[in-house]
A and B are shown apart, each in its own frame.
Chain A
């Protein structure tokens, strides 16, 4: 067993096995879709493919209702129409393995040995959750590549590439925009300091380092360029579906968010804007605080940021969990949690989801009025996430040496 494990944890073996498993699942998905009533392929994959069909026909991808993504995605998947309908899934599983590779590089940069880095990568590469999500045709892995790529390039000090990737990441899914503050603070931090106390003006000026201006200019140009191009091509539909919908989203249907039942009950009330602010404030304040406190360790900061963002969001579905889980393998090596406690937290996290899923199933499929139970389960899940995050913070060993290495 030990022998097999040590063989498996070799870089080439691990990545080949990870890719092979994903291909198997894609193949199995094709078989299941053809033969069984319950389909393997994610509904979103059909949305992407339909949007690509419109693009191939020369019209707007937004003709497909519920397509709320960048037109880039529909463009990327045109081989779905022109070559094979499975192209997108192959692309997504490749991105999934590529994000594993980026994790590996980041872990090596953070001082882990080759074998240790492989072990932590395996938590992603052999994890059924990302395997399932990407092989079912969900595009989350593309974003994981962009965000992890940004992180790696920042640690490498390849600022222009980092900024390009970051601009693209924000364009693809708007949520990485919350990571702008820790990135800005980390770029400021890397300036030389002489230890003397500065005046207010100098401190303010320090915020705007050359690195930061370069990063902001490139990322901003990418974002603005893409936005302008697609606005010219697809008009208001693009702005609304890609950005505004996600900002103003008021989905009153049940989801993991602790706010779901409150927002459903008050959807038409005059208090709605006040409650919207009350919902946004804790999220915003916590993100600000986490940026100030942990920007010296960007990987950890990104993890906390996305976890807080998702837990306190107005809408939260299970695929949102992947947004922060892709940073977990980077954080785990520095956790001093005992295995028992770690497993305990993991069990608690899954229990929280199960407690939510049970009443949600009864509401959706059995006609039982379980609104209050779903609401309580959502609040309980937030408490569990809070306990997990505080445990992780308290057992996190920040690096004692400078984490960034400049490669030449």
Chain B
């Protein structure tokens, strides 16, 4: 039995700053059946079993970094990993910063929609980021990447000033090996069609690693204002601006030259 899921995605290629619409068909197979046609090359069960991902947040305040560490048993195969990270409305990634990092460090991240860099959390939708990692022959068995992420301003708390907690779920983890065109699903893992590389030119089959236990989201805190401040703040602001306006008007009146029109 097949469960088919089609999804149309628009992917913004931050490298060229241009919108390129590609169709990413997600073809999810949820049972043991497998396509019979095409040459296949299996990812070894031991490799799949060994994949472990950890996600951490470094830095404080509004400008953070997501650090992903992926460990697996060293293999001679050229392993490619794709992380699909759901970014909640309280956070954003800056496509232009990612493009600059692409130049400097080779970071490969695509965003699935145009992201407003300035809007507050309460008017922003979330979005997904596609993070591509390629195995390095030197450090086989370990992949690490750091992706900058920023906090949005949140709606002030209804009581006193405090902190808003934003939770970032673990990304979906996909794996494939270079030169392997057809993958066989090995339950509980499923096959997903997604763009092969950061270049976003053609699609490949990826094996999504399903974990039996969901990992706890990473949470971070962002300062928010408090509505309990609203009366003193409005009164104070208007009083001080009124005072300054009076001082300045007084000076203008005293030292200015007023002529009849």
Q: Is B1 an interface residue (CB 8 A)?
A: no
Q: How far is the CB of A214 from chain B (nearest CB, A)?
A: 20
CB < 8 Å: which of A54, A292, A396 contacts B258?
Answer: A292
Q: Is B216 an interface residue (CB 8 A)?
A: no
Instruction: Say yes or no: A261 contacts B242, CB within 8 Å.
Output: no
Instruction: Say yes or no: B223 contacts A382, CB within 8 Å.
Output: no
Complex contacts, B250 vs chain A, CB 8 Å: 390
Q: Is A278 an interface residue (CB 8 A)?
A: yes
Q: Is B100 an interface residue (CB 8 A)?
A: yes
Q: Is A345 an interface residue (CB 8 A)?
A: no
Instruction: Say yes or no: A366 contacts B229, CB within 8 Å.
Output: no
Which of chain B's residues has its CB closest to A66's CB? B117
Q: How far is the CB of B57 from chain A (nearest CB, A)?
A: 11
CB within 8 Å for A266 and B230 given contacts A206-B261, A370-B223, A386-B248: yes
Complex contacts, B237 vs chain A, CB 8 Å: 258-259, 261-262, 375, 379
What are 17 A-B pairs with beta-carbon distances under 8 A? Answer: A39-B100, A252-B120, A253-B118, A261-B225, A285-B245, A286-B248, A290-B256, A292-B258, A296-B257, A296-B259, A311-B244, A312-B245, A365-B61, A367-B61, A370-B223, A394-B254, A396-B255
Q: Is A171 an interface residue (CB 8 A)?
A: no
Q: Which stretch, B78-86, B155-163, B199-207, touches the partner chain A?
A: B155-163
Instruction: Say yes or no: A308 contacts B248, CB within 8 Å.
Output: yes
CB within 8 Å for A46 and B116 given contacts A282-B245, A372-B161: no
- Of all A-B residue pairs in the complex, the 9 with the closest CB atoms, nearest first, are A293-B256, A282-B245, A369-B223, A390-B251, A386-B244, A367-B60, A365-B61, A262-B237, A393-B255
Q: In whole angstroms, what is the CA distance A48 to B259 when docked?
A: 45
Instruction: Say yes or no: B161 contacts A364, CB within 8 Å.
Output: no
Complex contacts, B256 vs chain A, CB 8 Å: 289-290, 292-294, 393
Contacting B at CB under 8 A, from A392-406, are 393-394, 396, 398
CB < 8 Å: which of A267, A268, A312, A394 contacts B255?
Answer: A394
Contacting B at CB under 8 A, from A31-61, are 39, 43, 46-47, 50, 53-54
Complex contacts, B17 vs chain A, CB 8 Å: 50, 53-54, 63-64
Instruction: Say yes or no: B229 contacts A261, CB within 8 Å.
Output: yes
Q: In whole angstroms, what is the CA distance A278 to B241 when docked?
A: 10
Q: How far is the CB of B48 from chain A (nearest CB, A)?
A: 36
| Mask: chain B, 219-261; 1 = CB below 8 Å from A; 0 = not | 0011111010110011011101111110111111111111111
Q: How many interface residues does chain A have, given as a range?
A: 35 or more
CB within 8 Å for A363 and B223 given contacts A286-B252, A369-B161, A393-B251: yes
Complex contacts, A371 vs chain B, CB 8 Å: 161, 223, 225, 229
Mostly, the A contact residues are: helix
Contacting B at CB under 8 A, from A241-291, are 251-253, 258-259, 261-262, 264-268, 275, 278-279, 282, 285-286, 289-290
Which of chain B's residues has its CB closest to A390's CB? B251
CB within 8 Å for A66 and B161 given contacts A379-B237, A382-B244: no
CB < 8 Å: which of A65, A265, A286 contacts B225?
Answer: A265
Q: In whole angstroms, what is the CA distance A53 to B17 when docked?
A: 9
Instruction: Say yes or no: B223 contacts A389, CB within 8 Å.
Output: no
Identify the B interface with A (CB < 8 A).
17, 59-63, 96, 100, 114-118, 120, 122, 153, 155-156, 161-163, 221-225, 227, 229-230, 233-234, 236-238, 240-245, 247-261
Q: Is A158 an interface residue (CB 8 A)?
A: no
CB within 8 Å for A289 and B234 given contacts A65-B116, A382-B244: no
Q: In whole angstroms, what is the CA distance A256 to B247 when docked?
A: 20
Given A258-B237, A262-B237, A385-B244, 13 extra CB contacts under 8 A: A203-B261, A264-B225, A290-B256, A293-B257, A312-B245, A364-B63, A367-B163, A367-B221, A371-B229, A375-B236, A379-B236, A394-B255, A396-B255
CB < 8 Å: which of A265, A293, A396 contacts B227?
Answer: A265
Which of chain B's residues has its CB closest to A304's CB? B252
Q: In whole angstroms, what is the CA distance A188 to B122 when docked?
A: 51
Complex contacts, B240 vs chain A, CB 8 Å: 258, 379, 382-383
Q: Is A23 an interface residue (CB 8 A)?
A: no
CB within 8 Å for A261 and B233 given contacts A64-B17, A285-B245, A286-B249: yes
Q: How far is the CB of A284 from chain B (nearest CB, A)?
A: 10
Q: How far is the CB of B251 from chain A (nearest CB, A)?
A: 4
Q: Is A73 an interface residue (CB 8 A)?
A: no
Instruction: Say yes or no: B257 contacts A398, CB within 8 Å.
Output: yes
Complex contacts, A39 vs chain B, CB 8 Å: 100
Q: How far is the CB of B256 from chain A (nearest CB, A)?
A: 2
Instruction: Say yes or no: B233 contacts A375, CB within 8 Å.
Output: yes
